């Protein structure tokens, strides 16, 4: 470890220690989501199960609740439910990463944990450098940096980052998010046999490629995965214009389904589908564990014009990750399910098998940190509403077949909404935490993820409308 690296790690550690009391007393601190110990968190990184332990690394600025020279913070778990904070994995100490150890991924090879990440460099004249780097560990906790292994290829700007590595047909592959010199988003494929020498195979998808029209000026955090023998490219494009109820956030995250020809690096794919229809979901990453499940974590946040108004900043922290979700593919559509392990969090079960609402209301108490399952006996034909602690609400209108989530915007103080269309409403599975909502509609056919900041004293959830349903709920606090 270099002197600079140990100094940065020490400074970050001291910052977290000094702020521990103030951060932990924040009423919006979440009870079962991963958060930064202090400062700013964004993307999940390096997701892997290694030597029997789940590892989640994350983009972290320990020194302020804003972007900055990112570290890789680190949590581990044996069950995806109880997490342990580990020593910092990467600090931006070397010349090739001095302005941030940016996002990347993890694989195991030869018994070693390999982290691939982007070294971000901002020069004094305003230009940037970008280096795809490697770091190795034998225990999953302490990492030895090997420096840059992929340089910026011709044809791209220095917005070239977020390597995701996987193995296929006895070779290694890496996909990187990119921007062409003409300002178009791309996902660029590389291959290697030894993990240190990488050959560029070319862009597999991007704005203006494969039948896509204009599709953003930069693609971040690509992830190429296989589900049911189909190849999926998950990616976070920047620069899409809102289109009806689609693309309402500043940046988007979604996927293309198709078939990748690994020989020619040609990816035939269909249309882009958003992974989440809520307000706070970006830069997802996935991994598989030994059970073969494909598990996703995302950043439950977004850098937009309201981010800096979030009330947690007063207590020196900002943002969190989503709960882990299992991905399944049905008819080329991703369905998201909360991982089964989360049932371990359930306490104090309440069950109401037959609830008939006829324009009246049902009040549920103590819903600060809770799980709620609403099973509709028949598809809902009257209207249905859920009010969350007087600060957000979900409505289903069977006439338009639209599900609508509204919450108060922390900057404007006005309600804002996100909307998606479904065929009929059969189920709502909702994870509430002190300042977050994750709503699985019809077993994860559609998702709404949002942060919200209700009066901490307000813990009631109200169900209203005309519907017959079964209600199950648990305290997760």
Residues known to be catalytic: 43
Rounded-to-integer distance, Cα 80 and Cα 74, Å: 14
User: Measured from the CB of residue 343, what is the shortest distance to ligand FRU in angstroms?
Assistant: 30
Least Cβ distance, residue 45 to ligand FRU (angstroms): 8
- Pairwise CA distance, residues 263 & 459, whole Å: 56
Q: Minimal distance in Å, beta carbon 185 to ligand FRU?
A: 11
**395: nearest Cα among 358, 439, 433, 451:** 439
Helix residue ranges per DSSP H, 213-264: none
Nearer to ligand FRU, 57 or 453 (CB): 57
72: which residues sit within 8 A by CB, 6+ positions away?
A: 45, 46, 57, 58, 59, 60, 88, 89, 90, 101, 115, 117
Shortest distance (Å) from residue 282 CB to ligand FRU: 6
Distance separating alpha carbons of residues 115 and 106, to the nearest angstrom: 5
Binding site for ligand FRU (CB under 6 A): 42-43, 59, 70, 102-103, 118, 161-162, 220-221, 282-283
Shortest Å, Cβ 162 to ligand FRU: 5
Any idea which residue has 């882009």 for tokens? 272
Q: Which is nearer to ligand FRU, 60 or 393 (CB)?
A: 60
CA atoms of 329 and 166, how far apart (whole Å): 20
| Closest among 393, 396, 397 to 450, alpha carbons compared | 393
For ligand FRU, the closer of residues 140 and 284 by Cβ is: 284
Measured from the CB atom, the residue of 162 and 223 that comes closer to ligand FRU is 162
Kindly tell me which of 24 and 305 has the beta carbon lying closer to ligand FRU.
305
- What's the rounded Cα separation, in Å, for the pair 323 and 77? 13
CB of 118 to ligand FRU, least distance (A): 5
DSSP structure string for 162-220: EEEEEEETTEEEEEEEEEETTS-EEEEEEEESSSSS-EEEEEEEETTSTT-----SEEE
- Residue 61, CA distances (Å) to 164, 261, 461 in order: 21, 39, 35
Q: Give dist(CA 258, CA 241) in Å, integer.
A: 24
Between 161 and 404, whose beta carbon lies closer to ligand FRU? 161
Residues 128, 150: contact at Cβ < 8 Å? no
Containing 14, the helix (H) or strand (E) segment is helix 3-24
Task: Specify the residue, 102 or 396, whose C-beta has the smaller distance to ligand FRU.
Answer: 102
- Alpha carbon distance 324, 391 (integer Å): 25
Rounded distance between C-alpha atoms, residue 36 and residue 109, angstroms:
29
DSSP at 272: -
Min CB(204)–ligand FRU separation in Å: 18
């Amino acid at each position: 470890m270099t002197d600079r690296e140990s100094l940065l790690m020490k400074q970050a550690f001291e910052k977290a220690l000094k702020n521990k009391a103030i951060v932990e007393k924040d009423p919006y601190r979440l009870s079962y989501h991963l958060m930064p110990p202090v400062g700013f968190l964004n993307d999940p990184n390096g997701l892997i199960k290694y030597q029997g332990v789940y590892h989640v690394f994350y983009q972290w600025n320990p020194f302020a609740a804003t972007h900055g020279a990112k570290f890789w913070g680190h949590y581990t778990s044996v069950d995806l439910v109880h997490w342990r904070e580990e020593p910092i994995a990467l600090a931006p100490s070397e010349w090739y990463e001095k302005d941030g150890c940016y996002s990347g991924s993890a694989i195991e090879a030869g018994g070693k944990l390999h982290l691939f990440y982007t070294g971000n460099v901002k020069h004094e004249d305003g230009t940037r450098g970008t280096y795809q780097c490697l770091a190795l560990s034998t225990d999953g906790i302490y990492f030895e940096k090997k420096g840059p292994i992929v340089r910026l290829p011709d044809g791209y700007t220095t917005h070239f980052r977020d390597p995701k590595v996987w193995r296929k047909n006895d070779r290694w592959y890496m996909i990187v998010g990119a921007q062409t010199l003409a300002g178009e988003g791309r996902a660029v494929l590389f291959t290697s046999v030894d993990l240190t020498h990488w050959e560029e195979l070319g862009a597999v998808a991007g704005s203006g490629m494969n039948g896509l029209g204009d599709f953003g000026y930069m693609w971040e955090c690509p992830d190429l995965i296989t589900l049911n023998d189909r190849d999926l490219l998950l990616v976070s494009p920047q620069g899409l214009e809102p289109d009806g109820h689609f693309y309402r956030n500043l940046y988007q995250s979604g996927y293309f389904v198709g078939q990748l020809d690994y020989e020619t690096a040609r990816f035939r794919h269909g249309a882009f589908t958003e992974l989440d229809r809520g307000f706070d979901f970006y830069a997802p990453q996935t991994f598989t564990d030994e059970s073969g499940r494909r598990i996703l974590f995302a950043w439950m946040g977004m850098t937009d014009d309201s981010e800096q108004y979030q009330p947690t900043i007063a207590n020196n922290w900002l943002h969190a990750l989503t709960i882990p979700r299992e991905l399944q593919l049905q008819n080329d559509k991703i369905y998201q399910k909360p991982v089964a392990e989360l049932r371990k969090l359930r306490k104090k079960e309440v069950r109401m098998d037959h609830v008939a609402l006829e324009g009246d209301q049902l009040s549920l108490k103590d819903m600060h940190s809770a799980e709620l399952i609403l099973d509709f006996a028949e598809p809902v034909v009257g209207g249905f509403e859920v009010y969350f602690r007087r600060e957000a609400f979900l409505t289903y209108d069977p006439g338009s077949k639209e599900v609508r989530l509204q919450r108060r915007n922390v900057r404007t103080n006005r309600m804002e909404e996100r909307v998606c269309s479904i065929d009929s409403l059969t189920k709502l599975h909702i994870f509430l935490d002190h300042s977050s909502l994750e709503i699985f509609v019809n077993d994860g056919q559609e998702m709404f993820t949002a942060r919200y900041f209700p009066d901490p004293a307000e813990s009631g959830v109200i169900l209203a409308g005309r519907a017959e349903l079964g209600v199950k709920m648990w305290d997760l606090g």
